[in-house]
Amino acid sequence: METTNQYIWSGWEKFFFRVFFIFFFLLIVPFKETFYTQWFTQTWSEMHIRDIPRFSGAGLSFVKVVSSHQEVNDNREKHKVSVESEESNVITGEDAPFNIVSYINYFILLGIGILGSLIWGSIDRKRKNYRVLLYFASTAVSIALAIRLQGLTFSKVFPTQMPDLALTQLNTPFGDFTAQKLYWVQFSFVHGYEIFAGLAELLIMLFLFFRQTRALGAALSVAMIGNITYANHAYDGGIHLAAFFFTIGGLYVLWPYFTRIFKLIAKEENPQENLYYYPFSKPWEKAIRYGIKTFLFLFFFVYSGYLHWQNYKYDSYKVPSNAGLTGARGVYEVEDFIVNGDTIAYDPTDSIRWRDVTLEEWSTLSYTVNNTFLIHGEAGRGKQYEDVNRTYESAGTGGGRRHFFYEIDSLNNKLNFYSKNKIYKEDNFSLVYSRPNAETIILEGEIKSAHLKIRLVRRDKEYALFHNRYSDNFVFKP
């Protein structure tokens, strides 16, 4: 039986170990009381995929960094920080949420780690090495990485993170998307690739979870999610902080393995010091170890996977759930547009006349006019309850396109429209609809005290995006 005291670490090795032990401890051990009580208070029958991240824990956070523009702050209900808030722990700025300032919590924790390490070191002078603690810290971080990845993983394996493109997006010019939106939707029409990425992340989760494959899991985590971190900075995606956790966590787990790999392969030397593994030889130790691992596996792999599959099948969280008018999905030409009795002919410079109307499978209508609108800067992420707040289809695009959620009042043949652009929340209206045939819809009613009558005729439109360029010889038609 080896004696751990035969290995002597240098002063620097001990110092850095302590720094990062404290750093990661504060990052993965939940400090909020609710984390522990929620296991008992949660109504399990109402569990939704938006609830799972609460159970994988979150690190200590001291400062909130928000945009000085209210609309840009992502539309997650729990994040409601008002820009006018006078709380002292809120930093606001236009660029702050996207650049290095947003990392402030990580810097604070690092600072605490350094301070703590100095204090700890002065108390613990006789210590020769921290091999045992390193094992547990590394394992804990590894497990934390694995269970926190579940959201990203399963929402790709069951493709809900990047759902099918809405018709309105297919009919929006490329230059009218933000970079962030483009980064996301590029997966929307290649579900095979999205699933492949999800399976790769699932593999990372599994590799991290089990001892023998931990090094590989950590290496893949650094590579794959390190890439995502950098990309989020390049595209202003907004989730660089979460992705960064996986990068540094992966580096932390990988580092001891990497030094040994480098020594063995690149320097072709005998690695001297074996990595320490706690033997778990006593029966009660074995019981706890397998018990915890089984529970975590069942909850974060199996249960999470099941909930995500359910969400994919019944209520893909980014896609509005209310059905639109039956069989009305399509892109429509505005054949007649009559305002207060006057017909306005097709004119791309008119600021009121609608064109390029799309109706989705769900109850969203969108159109383009030649006008400028204040764009709501949110990214369209999050798991909203209400359809009108599910803005994945509309957020991040501009160029005169408007999106409306509608309710069908089939008794009165009316459609009640609600603006999905939160800046124009008051732009709601009702129109009477009639459908003389399968391809035509006539809408009539008052919008902003003008009486409108609009006749929509569906266009037959094929999109090159879904065609095989090797075999289809696609012909573009507008």
Partner 1 sequence: MFNIKLPIAIARNSIVTPINQWLVKSFVVFTVLLTAPLDYKFWKYVFEDGLSFFTLFKLTNYVPEFIASNTYWNVFVLVILSLLTGILWKGKNINYSNLYHWTRVVLRYRIGIVLVAYGFLKLFPLQMPFPSLSNLHTNYGDFYAWKIYYHTTGITPWYESFLGLIEIFAGALLFFRKTTTLGAGVIIGFSGNVFAANLAYQGGQEYLSLLILISSTFLFVYDFQRLFSLLYKFEQTEPNKIVPEYDVAWNRGRLIFKSVVGFYLLFIGLSFSFSWSRSPYKYPEGSGLEGTYGYYNVTTFKVNGLEIPYSRTDSIRWQNVVFESWPTISIASAKPIILDNSVPNDYRKYNYERNFESAGVGGRRYFHYEINDTQKILHLVNKNSNHKDEKFELHYEFIGDSVINLYGSDEQGRQIEAVLQRVNRKYMLLEGRRKPVKL
Q: Which residue number, 183 or 300, has a Cβ lying nearer to partner 1? A: 183
Q: Could you say which of 193, 299, 418, 429 contacts partner 1 (CB under 8 A)?
A: 193
Is 277 near partner 1 (CB under 8 A)?
yes
Query: Of 355, 422, 435, 453, which lies in the binding site for partner 1, with binding defined by CB under 8 A?
Result: 355
End-to-end CA distance of the chain: 76
| Among 51, 211, 201, CA closest to 143 | 211
Nearer to partner 1, 126 or 267 (CB): 267
- Within 152-181, the residues that bind partner 1 by CB under 8 A are 165, 169-180
Residues in region 278-317 near partner 1 by CB under 8 A: none
Least distance from C-beta 435 to partner 1, angstroms?
A: 22
Rounded to whole angstroms, the Cα distance separating 261 from 266 reads 8
Residue matched to tokens 């907004």: 238
Handedness of CA 8, 13, 19, 21 (dihedral sign): negative
396 contacts partner 1 (rule: CB under 8 A): yes
Of 156, 183, 181, which Cα lies nearest the Cα of 169? 181
Binding mask 71-90 for partner 1 (x = CB under 8 A): xx------------------
Rounded Cα gap, residues 97 and 241, in angstroms: 10
Q: Which is nearer to partner 1, 189 or 418 (CB)?
A: 189
Q: Does the footprint of partner 1 cover residue 270 (CB under 8 A)?
A: yes
Number of residues in contact with partner 1 under rule CB under 8 A: 91
> Site for partner 1 (CB under 8 A): which residue of 27, 49, 205, 220?
220
Residue 100 makes contact with partner 1 by CB under 8 A: no
Contact call for residue 7 and partner 1 (CB under 8 A): no
Q: Which residues, including other chains, have CB under 8 Å from residue 32's CB and lie 6 or more apart?
A: 58
Which one among 374, 385, 413, 424 touches partner 1, defined by CB under 8 A? Answer: 374
Q: Any residues with CB less than 8 A from the CB of 68 and at least 6 apart, and which?
A: 83, 92, 93, 94, 96
At which residue do the structure tokens 């750093």 appear?
Answer: 23
Please say which residue, 52 or 228, places its beta carbon nearer to partner 1. 228
* Rounded Cα–Cα distance for residues 242 and 180 (Å): 16
Binding partner 1 (rule: CB under 8 A), the pick from 11, 192, 283, 341 is 192
Binding of partner 1 at residue 348 (CB under 8 A)?
yes
Cα Rg of the chain, angstroms: 27
